[in-house]
Homo-oligomer: A and B are copies of this chain.
Amino acid sequence: MEQQQPSRTEIASLGEFGLIEHLTKNFELHNASTILAVGDDAAVIDHFGKQTVVTTDLLIEGVHFDLMYTPLKHLGYKSVMVNLSDVYAMNATPTQITMSIGISNRFGVEALDEFYEGVYIACEKHGVDLVGGDTSSSQKGFIISVTAIGEVAPDAFVKRSTAQKGDLICATGDFGGAFLGLTLMEREKRIFLENPQIQPDLEGEDYIVKRLLKPEARKDIIDFLAENNIVPTAMMDVSDGISSEVLHLCKQSGLGCRIYEGKLPIHESSRNAAFKFGLDPTVCALNGGEDYELIFTLKQEDYDKITFNEEISVIGYMTEMEEGCKLLTKGGNTFDITAQGWNAFAKQ
C-alpha cells in the first residue's frame, strides 16, 4: 500500500538550506501582513490594529499517523489543516504558518516534495503564507511540528470558557467519519500484512477515507458566522470526539450540558460503515476523533440565524454545572458523558 518512489534524490545532496529553498520555492505570499518570510532568522508579521492568534501541533509517525496508509501529500495537507482548524476555532483568520519536519534517512527529496505539495495546496486554499520552519534529521520516523498564526479584530476572538447557561450547543458537519476511516484502514493494513497479495478493499468507503486523510478546516463556518453577525458565546474545534470537547467547554465555562443522541449529525456513509464493523454510530460520533469540525455555543435568540444552514446542527444546550453533563438517548435514557477521546499517553 505504501507508495513507491520512481526516483530518489538523497536529502544530504541538497544540504539543509538547499532543501529548505527547494521545498519552499513555489510558495507565494498572500497576506499583506507578511513582511518577511522564509530565509532569515525569523519571519516578520505586521498586525496593526488586529490581534494575533497562535497555535501549534506536533504530529509523530506511529503515534498520530501511519505512513502505510497515509499518502505523504495528504499528510502535508492534514498537518496544516489541523492547525488552521484551531485558528478558526478562535473565530480568527489564519494568515501564516511555520512548518518544521524531522526526517529519517529513509526519505528522499521526492518524498518530501510530495509532502510539501500537500502543504502547498492547504496553504493556497486558505490563503496562508508559509513563513518559516526547521528541517532536521530524526533517528526514527517522521516528525511534523506546525505553528499557525492568525488575526482577529480586537477582542473578537471566541474562547472555550465563556458559554452561558441556556446557550444552544451547535456542531458543524458530521461526526465519526474519520474514526471509521481509521478503523477501515487499520483493518486493511492487517489484511495486507498477513497477505501482501490482497489489495485493499475501499470500495464505497470514499467518504470515511476522505474524512480521515483529508480533513477540511471549517473556514466556511467562520465566514458564515461573520456574514450573519453571529458571535458564538464559546467555541472550539473537535479533534478528540464530541464527548471530550463538550466536557472541555463545560469545565472551562463552569457549566453542565444536555446532548441529544438523536441530534448528533452522522453521515449515512459513516452510519453504514459503523454497522459493517459492528460499531455503534453514536459511540463513533461521541468518542471517535479527528473530524476537525467546530462546536460552539449560541444564545437562544440567535437560533433563527443558523436554522437554514445545513452544515450546522443544534445538538443540545448548556445547563448549570450541578446538573452534570448528560447524554439523552433516543430511547429516553440518560447517561453521563465521559471523555473517551484519544489519550496519546494512555495508549502506549
- A-side residues, CB < 8 A to B, are 11-12, 15-17, 19, 35-36, 39-49, 51-58, 60-64, 86-87, 89-90, 92, 96, 98, 100-102, 105, 131-141, 143, 145, 147-150, 152, 154-155, 157, 159-161, 236-237, 248, 252, 343-348
Contacts and interface: CB of A to CB of B under 8 A. Distances in A.
A194 to B, nearest CB: 23
Contact of A56 (B16, B19, B46, B147): B147
A58 B105 contact: no
List the 9 closest pairs (A to B, CB-CB), nearest first. A42-B55, A145-B145, A45-B52, A41-B89, A147-B147, A41-B86, A58-B100, A12-B345, A56-B98
A43 to B, nearest CB: 5
Nearest to A49: B48
13 contacts: A15-B345, A19-B345, A35-B155, A41-B55, A41-B160, A42-B53, A42-B89, A45-B54, A54-B98, A58-B101, A60-B138, A62-B139, A147-B147
A344 to B, nearest CB: 5
A17 B346 CA distance: 12
A347 B12 CA distance: 9
B89 A345 contact: no
Contacts of A136: 58, 60, 63-64, 344
Most buried by B among A35, A139, A344: A344
Nearest to A139: B62
Given A41-B89, A54-B98, 20 more contacts: A12-B343, A12-B348, A15-B345, A36-B157, A36-B159, A40-B90, A41-B87, A41-B236, A44-B52, A47-B47, A52-B52, A56-B134, A58-B100, A60-B137, A63-B102, A63-B139, A102-B143, A105-B348, A137-B345, A140-B141
B132 A16 contact: no
A152 B53 contact: no
A160 B236 CA distance: 39
Given A47-B52, A54-B149, A42 B90 contact: yes
B147 A98 contact: yes
Nearest to A160: B40
A86 B36 CA distance: 14
Nearest to A35: B51
A294 to B, nearest CB: 10
